[in-house]
Structure 1
C-alpha cells in the first residue's frame, strides 16, 4: 500500500503523523511512503531524515495523488476535500461531529475513514487520544501558569507553593489522562490540587501513585461549588457527549468564582461540560466571560510538536499497519476495536455520535462488515 504523510495546514499546527522512525517501520513492512515536502519541519524532522528512513519526499499534489492511505493529524480543511474519493483511506483525527461540511465531503466522496479519537482498547479507553491527552493536560496547566502572570492579563499570581503566601488551589474536572497529567505538574509546583470524578475506583487507582498534595473528591454539586469558590484555576478534561444539553459548569456558576480565577478547558467541547467554552487558537488563546478568563485552545499539544508527533506516531502505527498489511476491509473485520473508529465507508456514516448530532442516517459498522 502507498501511505501519504501530509503537511498539516491548520494554523499553528506543527505536528506530523509519522516521524522518521515510524516511516522506517512502515517501509520494512513492504509499503511505500510518500512524505510531503516540509511535513516534519515543524516537529524538528528534516526531509533528509525521512529520505534516510526510506520515504519518498514529494510535493503536495504528488503525495495526495499517489497515496492510497492519507496519514494525517488534523481534520480535513476545504482545500483538501477535492482529494477524497472511493479508492482512498483517511486516517487522522477527524472530529466529524463538529464539522458538518467535512462530513458531507466524506459521505459524498465515498472515502473510507477512520478517526483516531474513536478507536478504543479492551478497557473501553482511547489509546490514540491518550498521548495527546497527557500533553494537553500538562500543557493546560502550563497555560494557566503563563496567563496567571500580570504581564499576560492575569492576577499576577504564581501557581506554586511560595513561602509566606497562601498556596493556590488547582481543581481538575475528571480523573482521566488529562486530569492526572495536569495534576502531576500542578502538584510538583506545590499547589493544593483537587481532582473531581464520579468513579471512586478510578480515583483510588490514581491515588496509589500520587503525591500527598492531591485530594480526590467525588464529583457532586456540593463539592463542585466548593471548588468553584476556592480554586484559582479550574481545568476541565471531561469529554462531553455531543448530544447532551446539560453542563457541569453553567454560566451562572462563574459568579461563584473568585476574582482572578480562570478556566482552562482542555476538552474544548463547545457548549459542553463548561457551558461558556468555545474553541480558541494559539494566536488568540483567551477570552473573558463575566470577568472569568477562559483558555480553550483546541490543539494544545501542537505547542510541544516534537514530543507530540513522536508519541502520536508510536500510538497510531500498529493500527496503520493493520490497514496497510491487510487492506481496509480485512482490518475492520478482524479488529472490532479499530472498527469503532470507522467514521464512514462508501457513503455510509458509521459513527453514531455524528449521526445523532447532525441528524443523519447511521449504519451500524458491525452489521456493515458482515455484508460488504
Structure 2
C-alpha cells in the first residue's frame, strides 16, 4: 500500500502523522511511504531522517493525496484537504465528527473510509486517545495556572499559594486520563484539587493514586454548581466516545463564579462541556464571558509537538500497520477495535454517536462488510 503523510495545516499544529521509526516499520512491511517536504519540522524531524528511514519526500500536499491509498494525519482534514480526497481512499487520523457537520458531510460526499483514532476501542479503553489526553491534561493545569496571573486576565492567584496564604482551588470535572493528569500537575503545584466523576469505582482509584491535596467528589449537577462557585480554575475533561460532550457548565452558572477565574475546556474537540465554550487557537487561546476566562484550544498537544508526535505514533502505529497490511475491510473483519474506529465509509456513517449527533442514518460496519 502507498502511505501518505501530509504536512498539517491546522493553525499552530506542529505534530506529524508518522515518525522516522514508524516509516521504517511500514517500509519493512513492504509499503511505500510518501512524506510531504517539511512535514516533520514542527516536531524537530528533518526530511533527511524520513529519507534515511525509507520514505520518499514529495513537494506538495497534492502529490501526497493524489498518490496515497492511505493518508495518515494527526488532526481532522481541513476543507482544502477534504477537496483532495477521493473515493475509497483511507484516511486515518483524529476526526471528532460529532460536533463538526461540515467535515462529516464532506467525508461522506467524497466516499472515503475515515478511521478515527478517538473511537478505536480496546477492552473499554481508547488507546489512541490516551497519550494525547495525558498531554492535554497536564497542559490544562499549566495553562490554568498561567492565565490566573493578573496580567493575563486572571484573579492574580498563585496556584500553590505561599506560607500563610491559601492556594488556588482547582476543580476538575472528569476523572479519566486527562482528568487524572490534570490533577497530578495541579497537585504538584500545590493547589487544592477537587476531582468530580460519575463513577464511584473510578473515584476510589483516584483516591488511592493522587496525593492528599486532592479530594474526590461524586459528579452531579448540584455538586458541580457548588464546587465551581469558589473555584479559581475549572478544568473540563468529560468524554463520551465519538459523541458530543454534554454541557455540564451552563451560561447562568458563570455568573456565580469568581471574576477572573479560568476555565480550561479540554473537551472542546468534541464540542466542549461548557455552554459558552468555542474553539480557539494557540495564537488566540482565551476569551472572556461574564468575567470568566475561557481557554478552549482545540489542539492543545500541538504546543508540545515533539513529545506529542512520538507519544501519538507509538499508539497509532500497530493499528496502522494492520490496516495497511490487510486492507480496511479485512482489518475490520479480524479486529473489532479497528471496526469501531471506522466512522465513515463510502458515504455511510458507521459510528452511531456521530449519526445521532447529526440526525443522519447509521449503517453498521458489519452491514458494509457483508
TM range (shorter): over 0.9
CA distance in 2, matches of 1:53, 1:245: 40
Q: Say if 1:2 and 1:32, in contact at 8 Å, map to a contact too.
A: yes
* Residues 138-171 of structure 1, C-alpha deviations (whole Å, 9 max, x = no match): 1111111211112222222221141121111111
CA distance in 2, matches of 1:357, 1:276: 19
Q: Which residue of 1 aligns with 2:119?
A: 118
CA distance in 2, matches of 1:195, 1:309: 28
The 1:258–1:138 alpha-carbon spacing in structure 2 relative to 1, beyond 3 Å, is same
CA distance in 2, matches of 1:116, 1:277: 24
CA distance in 2, matches of 1:55, 1:167: 51
Cα shift at 1:322: 0.6
Cα shift at 1:229: 1.8
CA distance in 2, matches of 1:225, 1:359: 31
Matched, 1:65 2:92: no
Q: Which residue of 2 aligns with 1:76?
A: 77
CA distance in 1, matches of 2:240, 2:287: 21
CA distance in 1, matches of 2:290, 2:352: 35
Cα shift at 1:340: 0.8
Q: Say if 1:33 and 1:56, in contact at 8 Å, map to a contact too.
A: yes
Cα shift at 1:350: 0.8
Matched, 1:129 2:129: yes
Q: Which residue of 1 aligns with 2:362?
A: 362
Q: Which moved more, 1:335-344 or 1:91-100?
A: 91-100
Q: Which residue of 1 aligns with 2:353?
A: 353
| RMSD (Å), alpha carbons | 1.8
Cα shift at 1:65: 1.9
Q: Which residue of 2 aligns with 1:176?
A: 176
The 1:103–1:223 alpha-carbon spacing in structure 2 relative to 1, beyond 3 Å, is closer
The 1:244–1:132 alpha-carbon spacing in structure 2 relative to 1, beyond 3 Å, is closer
Q: Say if 1:239 and 1:269, in contact at 8 Å, map to a contact too.
A: no
Q: How does 1:1-372 map to 2 (within 5 A)?
A: 1-60=1-60, 61-122=62-123, 124-239=124-239, 247-268=247-268, 272-369=272-369, 371=370
CA distance in 2, matches of 1:142, 1:18: 27
Secondary structure, aligned partner of 2:83: helix
Q: Which moved more, 1:306-315 or 1:278-287?
A: 278-287
Q: Say if 1:161 and 1:189, in contact at 8 Å, map to a contact too.
A: no
Q: Which moved more, 1:172-181 or 1:264-273?
A: 264-273
**Alignment coverage as a number of residue pairs:** 369
CA distance in 1, matches of 2:142, 2:102: 34
Cα shift at 1:270: 7.2
Cα shift at 1:215: 0.8
Normalization by structure 2: what TM-score? 0.95
CA distance in 1, matches of 2:157, 2:342: 45
* Residues 279-303 of structure 1, C-alpha deviations (whole Å, 9 max, x = no match): 1111111111111111111111000
CA distance in 2, matches of 1:304, 1:212: 29
Cα shift at 1:244: 7.1
Cα shift at 1:366: 2.4
CA distance in 2, matches of 1:82, 1:221: 43
The 1:244–1:87 alpha-carbon spacing in structure 2 relative to 1, beyond 3 Å, is closer
* Residues 190-231 of structure 1, C-alpha deviations (whole Å, 9 max, x = no match): 111110011111121222222111111111334323311221
Q: Which runs of 4+ in 1 moved over 4 A?
A: 240-246, 269-272
Q: Which moved more, 1:145-154 or 1:295-304?
A: 145-154
Cα shift at 1:240: 5.3
The 1:217–1:134 alpha-carbon spacing in structure 2 relative to 1, beyond 3 Å, is same
CA distance in 2, matches of 1:304, 1:346: 35
Secondary structure, aligned partner of 1:259: coil
* Residues 283-328 of structure 1, C-alpha deviations (whole Å, 9 max, x = no match): 1111111111111111110000000000111100011001011111
Q: Say if 2:120 and 2:127, in contact at 8 Å, map to a contact too.
A: yes
Give unmatched runs, 5+ long, in structure 1.
none
CA distance in 1, matches of 2:184, 2:243: 32
